[in-house]
A and B are shown apart, each in its own frame.
Chain A
């Protein structure tokens, strides 16, 4: 047992001291973070239309600002009107305005610079005369928004003028719509969005960590074979001790990686607790504190890691060089990545027929179930897929161990496919 841990320790150190590991350690959370933040930034920042209001009426600008404050999508930014716009005569207005549409100008006291997308000019007798909506863009959303805001303001003023406070209040009533997503609702019977998110993130991490570690495992075995380090190891330990050490090492690296990522997320989440990202992180970590969910995630994660590790270990055991291994890596990667073709369908209906059927396809079970586990699949499915995952992982590790024991010393080229399956079926002599 001591030798298993010594080999595991060596594997762990060998792996975590690689430059690639450091890049992955930093790169993956960065990538996930960017994937979460960038679309929001694009949605909230990139498409936000900037406009100003030249209000010659009385208080319409404030009415628009009030309506804008209630705008949940935050699609528009209203800035103060520049002085030369306010002072421009009707004859010169088009000339002055065009300058603001063509190049960025300082649009706030804080020094923000932007190009204007629209200028709203409200005449002193607004209501009798229309407001002017100056814009070089045909984009209708801002115009609709301004029109709705001014309509509301006029109605309120009309009601107020009639002296009917009740009518005025009635006109100020706004119907609110709470956004709901049917896909999210079906994913989470109890509305446990955080749990769903955690399990999906863990599925993605499984794929990343498993690929990363398994590839390192494969490279390590090939390097040991090519330098005949494997002979030195075999003169010190049994093949099963070596395999055991390598597997424990891979698991240790994976857990270390996950703990670092989760730990960093917790620290960052607490540091930025007030932000939306902080709230999301907190919710995700709270979901992980559910022992059943956390236990299932760990079980599926480790099973998946062992399944992919066993596949790559088998290839490495039978390859004399990385070039040889490439012959089997391509098809293996294609098979492993296959569930990603159905990922959208599985996420839309995590307890649907496709997702359920895919969950029982042995090598995909951990990956698919990680995606589904937060969506409360039936208990029977949880138990049966957990057993299936563990059994398949154990079987594949056993077969990988046999292949390693038999072929660790071989340095000839890879066999033909038929012979390969023959090898895998056979029992080792040594």
Chain B
């Protein structure tokens, strides 16, 4: 909550008003949620919140508790402890306002594409005739118009995934949950799904998606939550995540740069790996690495390449998981 306030609600000046304002602005709020299956704790004291209209990247290795917590958000499972509030109410009462795309193909193989979309939309409360019209319009809009009457079993994996995504959004939900939406898709289809998610968010939908591919999260997410072994390891935006690790410099040089290790900003120096001539210099926390270039010039070291970049989300993720395992 504090993070949300810090990140700038328009009425943050008056505390009680702010509190109400933030609560009204929340699409999802998990408070100390715990779920156990026998002796196994799948989700342990999980708390985070997501503001309306934002995209949340839900990250974690296999078995982190993502799917279990998503099922609690959907009201499919009830938490043993804690509470899940979605769109201001209990998860079970908000079914019609939530769209969901499961990790695998949650479609009937013998059903036709338009019927699949219309079926889910009508289960979500849309009148059947309207649902069918909407399904056909969406299929047309997303380039699947001529496959509207095709059976799901006859569609490619990418097309079936699109149909499933359309099933999740056809009833115009306020919140959609996408469990591994990029799983098994080729790069072209991944980009299409990314574009769709971006377009939906621009249309005002709140989106939570889980993924193993950090690049999707980097490109799409306004907020990131990293889970491991049922616990939350990180909750923040991409910049905050990157600040968890020091910056890193990559310097292309045939000369020996090990002298850089003596600089106060440098944490470690790694020589080239043999495939290229790039040295990797890990900076200390908060260091900008300006001295590196100056030192190289002073020593007249010929450089072919120089960049100081923040760590990738992949690096942050791996670091978080390894730290947790340690």
Contacts and interface: CB of A to CB of B under 8 A. Distances in A.
Query: On chain B, which size bracket covers the interface?
Result: 20 to 34
A10 interface: yes
B167 interface: yes
B200 interface: no
B120 A232 contact: yes
A234 B106 CA distance: 11
A316 B77 CA distance: 20
- Interface size classification for chain A: 20 to 34
Contacts of A223: 108-109
A227 B110 contact: no
Contacts of A229: 106-108
Contacts of A429: 78
Please report whether the interface of chain B is mostly helix, strand, loop or mixed according to DSSP.
loop
Interface of B: 71, 74-78, 92, 95, 98, 100, 102-111, 119-120, 122-124, 128, 167
B71 A233 contact: no
A236 B76 CA distance: 9
Contacts of B106: 227-229, 231-232
Contact of A430 (B77, B98, B123): B77
Given A228-B102, A228-B103, A234 B74 contact: yes
Contact of A232 (B75, B77, B78, B100): B100
Nearest to B152: A227
A24 B2 CA distance: 65
Given A233-B123, A235-B74, A236-B124, A17 B100 contact: no
A228 B107 CA distance: 8
A235 B101 CA distance: 10
B71 A231 contact: yes
Contacts of B124: 236
Given A231-B76, A231-B102, A14 B110 contact: yes
Contacts of A262: none
A313 interface: no
B264 to A, nearest CB: 54
Interface string A364-407: 00000000000000000000000000000000000000000000
Interface in A228-271: 228-229, 231-238
Question: Which 4 residue pairs of A and B lie closest in terms of their CB atoms, listed nearest first?
Answer: A236-B123, A232-B106, A228-B102, A235-B100
A363 interface: no
Residue among A227, A237, A429 having the largest count of chain B Cβ atoms under 10 Å: A227
13 contacts: A6-B123, A6-B128, A10-B119, A227-B104, A228-B102, A228-B103, A228-B104, A229-B108, A232-B100, A235-B100, A409-B71, A409-B77, A430-B78
Nearest to B101: A232
Given A227-B109, A228-B102, A430-B78, 6 more contacts: A6-B128, A17-B110, A231-B106, A235-B98, A235-B100, A430-B76
Interface string A406-430: 0001000000000000000000011
Nearest to B73: A235
A15 to B, nearest CB: 11
A14 B124 CA distance: 20
A14 B100 contact: no
A3 interface: yes
A307 to B, nearest CB: 27
A108 to B, nearest CB: 55
Contact of B100 (A6, A231, A237, A409): A231
Interface centre among A232, A236, A409 (most CB of B within 10 A): A232
A5 to B, nearest CB: 10
Contacts of A409: 71, 76-77
B179 to A, nearest CB: 8
A311 interface: no
Contacts of A146: none
